[in-house]
C-alpha cells in the first residue's frame, strides 16, 4: 500500500526551506494533493508552490510538480495535477538491499549515496485539470525542466506508467537515465528549487518508486478539484468543490476539527434548515464570492441579481444562511426582506408574505394608535365602524334593556367618579354625554377638543401598562364586541375616529359587564380601595380577578391632563 | 377584511425565522415601519419591541403629520415616544432624538429610562424651542460610547467622566470652559471630539491622552494643546469677529507652536480664517521638523506675503507631506501690487521640499496671482502625480490662466494637471 490512511496531512519542508502544509487524500484510487499553502514571509510567494517534497508512509516520499508549471508565477490554489513520486533512499545503506521490491531501476539509481544520481521520474499523472481525454488518447502537456548542469529536458507524459505497469516504468527510467546528466545531491528532505519562467530546475536526489495498485489513476476527463461531501437533513448527499465549501465558516470549521467530508461515507451533516435546493443557491453565492479577483461593483451587481427571488425562497435562504453562519449572505437577505417591508401598508405586507390576519380589530388599534394613525388606518376604522353598524342593526331586536343599562351606568359612573377622584369626572361626563348621543341618534353634542384629547391621553396611558395582558383577554371577546350597539361613524366629526371607536367599544364593554354581575362587582370595587388598579371582572366567561382590562380612568401620568 | 387564517400556515415563512434574523430585518427598517409591523399578525405583535436602536428623526416624523401644528405635533410625539419606550423590552443601545419637538419637559424622563437600559449612544439634536438642560441622570450612563448634542445645556458637576465614551459631538452646547476641559480629560477612551459653534468662552485647553480626531468650528478662541500624544487629525475652522489677532511681538506664530505639541499629527485642515490667524506673528528660524504630517489642507490668501512665507516654512518643516490642498480665499484686490511673482522666483528649492508630495490641489483660483505658487511646486516636486486646479466661480474665463499654466516646467515626469469641474459656488471640499 502506498498510503496507509485516506487522508494524510502534514507539514513538509517545501521549496527552499520554507514550511508549508498540505493535504493528500486518496480518493477512488487517485492521489490528491490539495490545500497546499506555504508559510512564507514574501508576499508574492504565498500559495506559490512549485515543488514540494513530502513524506508519506512506508518511507515513501513524493515530489510533486505542478502540471501548469509553464505558466508564470504566481500560481493559485489549484490542485496539483502531477505527482512525481519518488522514494527516499535509505541514507545509511549504500546497497540496494533496502529496496528489494524495486528492481533494476533503483539499484541503478541508488548506486551510492555519495554520488546519488537524480532521476526525476514522472510516474503517474494524477488528475488533469483541464478537461482532456485520458492520457492514452492524446499526449499530455509537456513538462520541461533543466538540471543543474543547465540542460533542459523535455519529456512527455506518455512515458508515465498509466497502468501501473512495472515494465513500462522501467523503460521510462531507463530512458530517462540516458537523458540526464549528473545532478548534485542535496541532503533530504530539502530540495532547492529555483523557478524560472517556464522551466523548473530540480536539483537533488530523485528516485523511482514502485507504483502500487492504488496508483492506477483513472484519469477523469472533467475538471477535477477536491470535493467535499455534504449531507442534508433529508439524507441526500452531494459533493461540492472544496474551495466553494470553504467559504462557509461552519463547514470549514467542521472539516478542520473532525476531518470529515472527504468521502461519501464521512459526509458532513448540515443543519436542519438547509435543504438541497437552497444549498445549491448558497453554493452559487459562495462560488461567485470566493474568487478573490472580483471588484466591488461586480459583487454588488451579482448580489442584486441574486436576491431576486420570491419571498418564500428568500426566507428559506436567510434561515439556511443563518444556520451555516454565512454572515454576508444573512446581511444581504435581511436587507432584501427589509426593503420588501419598508413603506408598504400592512395589507400589502401581509399579502407579500402570506401572513395570517389574526389580530382583532381592537388589537390593531392599540396601543400605538398614534404611530399607526395614518389615513389608511383611519379608513380601516371607518370600515370597521360600518361593519359594526350593520351587525348592530341586526341585533337591534335583542337590545331590549337599553333603558336599564342607561340607568345602571349612570349610577355606576357616579360611584366610579367618586372612587377615582375629581379628575375623571369630566371624562366620565363625556362618556355620559356620548351615551346620550347614542340614545338620541339624531343630534350630537359638541364635545370639545380639550376633552377628547384628555380622553385620548388617558386612554393611551391606560392601555400601555396593560397592553400585553389585554391581548389575551380580548381575543375571547372578539365575537361579542361587534354585537353591541355602536355609534355611527361620522356623527361626531371633531373627534379622531380611532378615539371614537375606543369610546364606543369601552362603552359597550362596560355596559355588557355591568349587565351580568352588577351587585357582586360593586362589592369588589368598594373593597379594593383607591390605590390599586380597579379591575372589573370579566363577564361570566372568566371568573378570576387577574385578567385586566383598563377602561377605568386612572390618573396615571400627571401631565396627561392639561 | 377577510382573514387568511389557515390552521397550520405553511405559506408564512418569514414569521418563523429565528428571532435574531427578525431583529436584523426590523433594525434595517425606519422606526415607524418597524413599529407598524406590530399589526401584521400575532407573531409580529411584539417583534419590534426588542430592537436595540430607536431613532426618532425628523425624516420619519416630520411636522407635516400633524398638519404643521406644533402643539399637536408635540403632544402626539411625546405620546408616541412614551408608548414606544414603555412597550420596549430589553436594552436600548442607540437612541436618537433629532426632531422638531418644542417642549422639552419629557426628555428628562426618557433619559432616565435610557440610563437604566444600557444605553450606548445618544443623539439629542434640538431644532426648536429653548435650550435643553441635560439632567444629571445622563452622567450616570456608564456604558455610553457616543454622545451627540445640539443646542443643549450641560453642566457636569463633580463628574468622573464617561468611562467608555469614544466619540463626543457638541454643537451649540452651553458648557463652561472648565467643565468641557474636565470632561475631555476625564474620559479615558475619548477618541473623537467635535465642537461646533460652542457658546463662547475664552479659550480651550485640550488635554486628552487618547484623542485621535479633533474638529473645531467656531469663533476664534485660544486653542491650546497640552497632552495629546495620539492626535492624528486636526480640523479647525475659525471665524474672526474682531480684528485683534493676539499678535504679541516676538511670539512665534501659533501654527508652529502647535506643531510642537502634536507628535502624531497626520492631517491638518484649517478652514475659514484659521490659517491667517495662526500664522500671525513671527515665523520661527529653527523650523520644527514634523515627520508625520502627511496631509495639509488650508484656506489661504495667496496675496498675503506672511501667509505665503508660512506655507513655505511649513512645507520645509514637513518633508513627508503627501497631499497639499489650498483653497484661495477671495480677497478684494488691493491697490498696491503685491510682489508675488518676485517672491516665488526668489524662493530657492530646499533639499526635502515637496519630496513626497503626490497630490496638490488649488481651488478658488481667480487671478494669476495664485499661479506662481503652482509654478513653484511643479518645479520642485519630484514625485508629484496630480495637480488639481479649481477655478473660482466668479472668474469670467479660464483660458488665460490655463494658457499660462501649460507653460510651467514640471520636475516630475508623471505630473498631470487636472482642471476640476466648475461648481456653482465655491464648495469647500474640506468639510464634506
Give the DSSP per-residue string, A202-242: EES--------GGG-----SS----EEEEE-TTS-EEEEEH
d(CA A158, CA A160): 5
- How many residues does this entry show for chain A? 562
Q: Calculate Rg over the CA atoms of chain B.
A: 27
Q: State which of B172-176, B192-196, B239-243 shows the largest mean pLDDT.
A: B192-196
Ranking A256-265, A340-349, B413-422 by mean pLDDT, the lowest is: A256-265
pLDDT at A170 over 50: no
d(CA A83, CA A66): 8
Name the more confident of A149 and B184.
B184
User: Is the domain of B190 the same as that of B243?
Assistant: no
Q: State which of A18-27, A138-147, A544-553 shows the largest mean pLDDT.
A: A18-27
Q: Which of B4, B15, B21 sits opposite A357 (nearest CB)?
A: B4
Q: How confident is the model at residue A179 (pLDDT cuts 50, 70, 90)?
A: very low
Number of domains present in the structure of chain B: 3
Whether B207 is in a domain gets the answer no
**Which tens digits make up the pLDDT trace of A489-508?**
334 444 456 666 666 666 66
**Which tens digits make up the pLDDT trace of A405-452?**
444 445 555 666 566 554 444 444 444 444 444 444 443 333 333 444
Distance (Å) from the alpha carbon of B378 to chain A's nearest alpha carbon: 34
Chain B residues inside the 8 Å CB shell of A363? 39, 45
Q: If 0-12 CB within 10 Å is exposed, 13-18 middle and 19+ buried, where does residue A460 land?
A: buried
Ranking A86-90, B74-78, B98-102 by mean pLDDT, the lowest is: A86-90
User: Is the domain of B184 the same as that of B246?
Assistant: no
CB contact under 8 A, A359 and B87: no
What is the per-residue burial (b if ≥16 Cβ within 10 Å, else e) of B298-318?
bbbbbbbeebbebbbbbbbbb
The sign one gets for the Cα dihedral A202, A208, A211, A214 is negative
- The answer to whether the CB of B113 falls within 8 A of the CB of B134 is no
Name the more confident of A138 and A423.
A423
d(CA A512, CA A507): 8
Ranking A284-293, A389-398, A437-446 by mean pLDDT, the lowest is: A437-446
pLDDT at A315 over 70: yes
Q: Tell me which residue has cell 380639550.
A: A450
Q: State which of A117-121, B157-161, B265-269 shows the largest mean pLDDT.
A: B265-269
pLDDT at A99 over 60: no
Of the residues B153, B179, B201, the one at which a domain ends: B201
Q: Which of A322, A350, A468 sits opposite B21 (nearest CB)?
A: A322
Name the more confident of A393 and A367.
A393
pLDDT at B167 over 90: yes
User: Is the domain of B277 the same as that of B324?
Assistant: yes
User: Is the domain of B273 the same as that of B400?
Assistant: yes
- DSSP lists the bridge partners of residue B365 as B391
Pairing between β-strand B213-219 and β-strand B192-196 as defined by DSSP bridges: parallel
pLDDT at residue B10, rounded to an integer: 66
Whether B25 is in a domain gets the answer yes
User: Is the domain of B197 the same as that of B219?
Assistant: no
Of the residues B169, B201, B233, the one at which a domain ends: B201
CB contact under 8 A, A368 and B9: no
- The answer to whether the CB of A30 falls within 8 A of the CB of A127 is yes
User: Is the domain of B66 the same as that of B21?
Assistant: no
CB contact under 8 A, B83 and A464: yes
In which region does residue A421 sit, left (phi positive, over 0), alpha (psi from -120 to 50) or beta (all else)?
A: left
User: Is the domain of B241 the same as that of B117?
Assistant: no
Residues 6+ apart with CB under 8 A from A152: A144, A145, A146, A199
Distance (Å) from the alpha carbon of A448 to chain B's nearest alpha carbon: 15
Whether B270 is in a domain gets the answer yes
d(CA A235, CA B244): 84
Which structural domain range is residue B248 located in? 212-432
User: Is the domain of B304 the same as that of B349?
Assistant: yes
pLDDT at A213 over 70: no
User: Is the domain of B112 the same as that of B154?
Assistant: yes
pLDDT at residue A312, rounded to an integer: 84
- The answer to whether the CB of B322 falls within 8 A of the CB of B358 is yes
Q: How confident is the model at residue A102 (pLDDT cuts 50, 70, 90)?
A: very low
pLDDT at B250 over 80: no
pLDDT at B3 over 80: no
Whether B189 is in a domain gets the answer yes
Of the residues B11, B34, B51, the one at which a domain ends: B51
Q: Which residue of A has its CA nearest to B89?
A: A468
The phi and psi torsions of B310 (rounded to 5 degrees) equal -65, -40
User: Does the interface predicted TM-score (ipTM) exceed 0.90?
Assistant: no
- The answer to whether the CB of B223 falls within 8 A of the CB of B204 is yes
Q: Which helix (H) or strand (E) holds A522?
A: helix A497-528
- How many residues does this entry show for chain B? 432
d(CA B117, CA B85): 10
d(CA B238, CA B270): 8
User: Is the domain of B278 the same as that of B303?
Assistant: yes
Q: Which of B13, B41, B79 sits opposite A356 (nearest CB)?
A: B41
Whether B174 is in a domain gets the answer yes
Residue among B176, B142, B148 at smallest CA distance from B160: B142
Q: What is the mean pLDDT of residues A277-294?
A: 84
pLDDT at residue A418, rounded to an integer: 60
Whether B393 is in a domain gets the answer yes
Q: SS3 for A534?
A: coil
Kindly report the average pLDDT of chain B as a whole number.
83
Across B228-374, where does the E strand assignment appear? Answer: 233-239, 267-272, 295-300, 323-328, 359-365
Chain B residues inside the 8 Å CB shell of A319? 13, 16-18, 21
Q: How confident is the model at residue A7 (pLDDT cuts 50, 70, 90)?
A: very low
**Which tens digits make up the pLDDT trace of A16-27?**
334 444 444 444
CB contact under 8 A, B24 and A334: yes
d(CA B66, CA A531): 36
Q: Which helix (H) or strand (E) holds A250?
A: helix A249-258
Kindly report the average pLDDT of chain A as a whole number.
52
User: Is the domain of B98 the same as that of B43?
Assistant: no
Whether B206 is in a domain gets the answer no
User: Is the domain of B162 the same as that of B249?
Assistant: no
Cell of A105: 531501476
Amino acid at each position: 500500500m502506498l498510503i496507509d490512511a485516506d487522508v494524510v496531512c502534514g507539514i513538509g519542508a517545501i521549496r527552499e526551506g520554507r514550511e508549508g502544509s498540505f493535504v493528500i487524500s486518496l480518493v477512488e484510487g487517485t492521489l490528491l494533493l490539495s490545500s497546499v499553502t506555504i508559510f512564507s514571509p514574501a508576499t508574492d510567494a504565498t500559495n506559490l508552490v512549485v515543488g514540494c517534497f513530502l513524506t508519506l508512509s512506508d518511507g515513501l516520499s513524493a515530489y510533486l510538480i505542478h502540471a501548469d508549471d509553464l505558466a508564470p508565477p504566481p500560481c493559485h490554489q489549484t490542485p496539483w495535477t502531477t505527482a512525481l513520486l519518488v522514494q527516499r533512499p535509505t541514507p545509511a545503506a549504500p546497497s540496494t538491499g533496502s529496496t528489494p521490491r524495486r528492481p533494476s531501476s533503483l539499484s541503478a539509481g541508488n548506486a551510492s549515496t555519495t554520488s546519488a544520481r537524480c532521476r526525476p521520474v514522472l510516474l503517474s499523472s494524477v488528475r488533469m485539470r483541464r478537461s482532456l481525454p485520458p492520457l492514452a488518447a492524446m499526449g499530455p502537456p509537456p513538462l520541461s525542466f533543466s538540471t543543474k548542469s543547465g540542460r533542459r529536458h523535455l519529456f512527455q507524459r506518455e512515458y508515465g506508467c498509466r497502468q501501473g505497469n512495472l515494465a513500462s516504468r522501467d523503460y521510462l527510467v531507463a530512458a530517462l537515465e540516458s537523458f540526464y546528466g549528473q545532478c548534485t545531491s542535496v541532503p533530504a528532505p530539502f530540495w532547492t528549487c529555483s523557478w524560472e519562467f517556464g522551466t523548473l530546475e530540480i536539483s537533488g536526489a530523485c528516485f523511482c518508486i514502485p507504483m502500487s495498485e492504488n496508483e492506477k489513476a483513472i484519469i477523469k476527463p472533467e475538471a477535477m478539484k477536491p470535493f467535499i461531501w455534504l449531507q442534508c437533513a433529508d439524507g441526500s448527499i452531494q459533493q461540492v468543490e472544496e474551495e466553494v465549501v470553504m467559504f462557509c465558516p461552519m463547514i470549514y470549521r467542521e472539516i478542520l476539527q473532525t476531518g470529515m467530508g472527504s468521502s461519501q461515507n464521512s459526509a458532513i451533516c448540515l443543519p436542519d434548515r438547509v435543504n438541497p435546493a437552497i444549498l445549491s443557491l448558497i453554493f452559487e453565492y459562495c462560488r461567485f464570492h470566493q474568487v478573490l479577483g472580483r471588484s466591488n461593483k461586480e459583487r454588488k451587481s451579482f448580489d442584486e441579481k441574486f436576491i431576486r427571488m420570491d419571498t418564500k425562497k428568500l426566507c428559506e435562504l436567510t434561515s439556511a444562511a443563518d444556520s451555516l453562519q454565512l454572515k454576508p449572505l444573512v446581511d444581504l437577505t435581511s436587507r432584501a426582506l427589509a426593503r420588501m417591508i419598508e413603506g408598504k401598508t400592512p395589507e400589502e405586507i401581509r399579502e407579500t408574505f402570506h401572513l395570517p390576519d389574526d389580530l382583532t380589530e381592537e388589537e390593531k388599534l392599540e396601543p400605538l394608535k398614534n404611530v399607526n394613525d395614518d389615513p389608511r388606518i383611519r379608513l380601516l376604522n371607518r370600515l370597521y365602524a360600518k361593519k359594526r353598524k350593520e351587525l348592530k342593526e341586526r341585533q337591534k331586536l335583542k337590545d331590549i334593556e337599553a333603558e336599564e343599562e342607561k340607568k345602571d351606568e349612570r349610577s355606576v359612573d357616579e360611584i366610579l367618579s367618586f372612587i377615582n377622584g375629581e379628575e375623571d369626572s369630566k371624562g366620565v361626563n363625556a362618556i355620559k354625554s356620548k351615551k346620550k348621543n347614542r340614545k338620541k341618534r339624531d343630534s350630537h353634542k359638541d364635545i370639545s377638543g380639550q376633552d377628547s384629547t384628555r380622553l385620548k391621553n388617558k386612554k393611551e396611558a391606560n392601555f400601555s401598562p396593560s397592553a400585553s395582558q389585554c391581548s389575551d383577554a380580548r381575543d375571547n371577546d372578539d365575537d361579542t364586541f361587534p354585537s353591541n350597539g355602536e355609534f355611527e361613524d361620522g356623527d361626531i366629526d371633531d373627534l379622531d375616529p380611532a378615539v371614537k371607536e375606543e369610546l364606543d367599544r369601552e362603552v359597550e364593554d362596560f355596559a355588557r359587564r355591568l349587565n351580568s354581575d352588577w351587585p357582586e362587582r360593586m362589592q369588589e370595587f368598594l373593597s379594593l380601595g383607591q390605590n390599586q388598579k380597579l379591575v372589573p371582572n370579566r363577564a361570566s366567561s372568566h371568573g378570576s380577578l387577574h385578567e385586566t382590562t383598563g377602561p377605568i380612568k386612572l390618573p396615571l401620568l400627571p401631565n396627561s391632563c392639561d | 377584511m377577510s382573514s387568511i387564517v389557515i390552521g397550520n400556515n405553511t405559506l408564512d415563512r418569514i414569521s418563523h425565522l429565528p428571532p435574531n434574523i427578525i431583529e436584523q430585518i426590523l433594525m434595517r427598517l425606519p422606526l415607524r415601519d418597524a413599529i407598524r409591523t406590530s399589526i401584521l399578525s400575532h407573531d409580529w405583535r411584539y417583534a419590534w419591541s426588542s430592537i436595540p436602536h430607536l431613532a426618532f428623526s425628523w425624516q420619519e416624523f416630520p411636522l407635516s403629520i400633524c398638519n404643521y401644528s406644533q402643539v399637536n405635533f408635540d403632544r402626539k410625539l411625546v405620546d408616541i415616544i412614551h408608548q414606544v419606550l414603555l412597550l420596549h423590552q430589553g436594552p436600548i443601545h442607540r437612541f436618537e432624538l433629532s426632531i422638531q419637538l418644542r417642549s422639552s419637559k419629557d426628555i428628562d424622563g426618557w433619559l432616565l429610562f435610557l440610563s437604566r437600559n444600557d444605553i450606548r449612544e445618544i443623539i439629542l439634536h434640538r431644532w426648536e424651542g429653548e435650550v435643553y438642560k441635560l439632567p444629571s441622570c445622563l452622567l450616570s450612563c456608564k456604558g455610553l460610547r457616543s454622545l451627540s448634542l445640539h443646542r443643549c445645556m450641560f453642566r457636569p458637576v463633580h463628574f468622573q467622566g464617561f468611562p467608555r465614551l469614544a466619540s463626543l459631538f457638541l454643537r451649540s452646547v452651553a458648557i463652561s470652559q472648565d467643565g468641557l476641559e474636565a470632561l475631555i480629560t476625564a474620559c479615558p477612551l475619548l477618541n473623537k471630539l467635535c465642537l461646533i459653534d460652542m457658546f463662547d468662552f475664552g479659550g480651550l485647553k485640550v488635554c486628552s491622552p487618547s484623542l485621535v480626531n479633533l474638529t473645531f468650528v467656531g469663533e476664534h478662541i485660544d486653542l491650546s494643546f497640552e497632552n495629546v500624544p495620539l492626535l492624528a487629525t486636526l480640523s479647525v475652522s475659525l471665524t474672526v469677529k474682531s480684528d485683534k489677532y493676539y499678535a504679541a511681538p516676538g511670539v512665534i506664530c501659533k501654527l508652529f507652536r502647535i506643531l510642537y505639541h502634536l507628535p502624531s499629527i497626520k492631517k491638518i485642515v484649517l478652514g475659514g480664517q484659521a490659517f491667517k490667524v495662526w500664522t500671525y506673528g513671527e515665523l520661527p528660524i529653527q523650523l520644527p521638523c514634523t515627520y508625520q504630517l502627511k496631509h495639509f489642507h488650508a484656506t489661504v490668501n495667496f496675496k498675503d506675503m506672511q501667509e505665503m512665507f508660512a506655507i513655505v516654512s511649513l512645507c520645509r518643516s514637513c518633508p513627508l507631506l503627501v497631499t497639499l490642498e489650498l483653497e484661495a480665499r477671495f480677497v478684494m484686490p488691493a491697490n498696491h501690487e503685491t510682489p508675488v511673482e518676485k517672491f516665488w522666483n526668489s524662493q530657492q528649492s530646499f533639499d526635502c521640499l515637496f519630496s513626497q508630495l503626490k497630490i496638490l490641489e488649488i481651488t478658488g483660483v481667480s487671478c494669476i496671482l495664485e499661479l506662481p505658487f503652482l509654478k513653484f511646486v511643479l518645479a520642485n516636486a519630484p514625485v508629484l502625480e496630480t495637480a488639481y486646479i479649481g477655478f473660482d466661480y466668479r472668474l469670467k474665463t479660464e483660458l488665460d490662466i490655463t494658457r499660462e499654466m501649460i507653460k510651467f516646467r514640471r520636475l516630475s515626469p508623471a505630473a498631470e494637471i487636472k482642471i476640476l469641474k466648475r461648481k456653482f459656488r465655491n464648495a469647500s471640499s474640506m468639510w464634506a
